[in-house]
Structure 1
């Protein structure tokens, strides 16, 4: 079980950020959801937990399924007082996410569709130089209601 007492990076300036590196495998989603719920509890944003947990699950599943990476970095951030951002960084910058269509009988292929339905916005950022990125972060944001 993961808690915030394990190796979690906390930004010392600006808006709060928690991040941790995990194995790039589907079982990481459970640990990632727990880390997320711990962070949301600290920030008193428990009302976002269900949608944010769905986002974490799908982002981790997509990284595990569509990249050859051994590790991913899960990030939970507050880029502003009114936004929660959940992201997964992997070292497969050429494997870009696309919003696809799944047939009724398909057992997979709906991850980004689910994220698109619950998030206020989502996307990806490449890390590194424009000509030779070394990683990508796929992220989704939720609006924080009644932010002070």
Structure 2
């Protein structure tokens, strides 16, 4: 699955749950784009998982490159990329990375439903 398809599928699921599309769809797009660009072997693709409880929306994007862990750095002011995880930090209540299962990793972001 690619980043564009991940966002489209997430939007369908969010609608089915009666949740607003943004900012959750934007988080999916950023996490999936990072996985597609930096994390995954293109043949392996990525995996999207969405979950909702009474209070929280959880977004998980898994890829096959556990040896490349993401980090939110500060790009140069004139850089044309490198701000995706800064956006995730700003929009998500919490986010993090879980290694495995080998050879992959999962990047997750959680949002409080009251914030949507």
Q: TM-score, normalised by structure 1?
A: 0.70
Equivalent position of 2:32 in the other structure: 60
Q: How many residues align?
A: 113
- Segments of 5+ residues of structure 1 without an aligned counterpart are 1-21, 23-27
Equivalent position of 2:113 in the other structure: 144
Equivalent position of 1:9 in the other structure: none
Deviations 1:46-65 (A, max 9, x none): 2xx11111111111221122
1:35 CA displacement: 1.0
- Segments of 5+ residues of structure 2 without an aligned counterpart are none
The structure number with the bigger radius of gyration is 1
Deviations 1:6-63 (A, max 9, x none): xxxxxxxxxxxxxxxx1xxxxx3322222111111111112xx111111111112211
- Aligned 1:3-14 pairs, distance under 5 A: none
Aligned-residue Cα RMSD (Å) equals 1.6
Equivalent position of 1:13 in the other structure: none
The reply on whether 1:69 has 2:41 as its aligned counterpart is: yes
Equivalent position of 2:76 in the other structure: 103
Equivalent position of 1:134 in the other structure: 103
1:68 CA displacement: 4.4
1:134 CA displacement: 2.7
**Structure (1/2) with the larger strand percentage:** 1
Secondary structure of 1:102 counterpart: coil
- Aligned 1:18-37 pairs, distance under 5 A: 22=1, 28-37=2-11
**Structure (1/2) with the larger helix percentage:** 2
Q: For 1:98 and 1:90, locate their aligned partners in 2 and report how far apart those are by CA, in whole Å.
A: 15
Q: TM-score, normalised by structure 2?
A: 0.88
Secondary structure of 1:36 counterpart: helix
Runs of 4+ in 1 over 4 A off after TM superposition: none
Q: Out of 87, 94, 106, which is 1:114 matched to?
A: 87
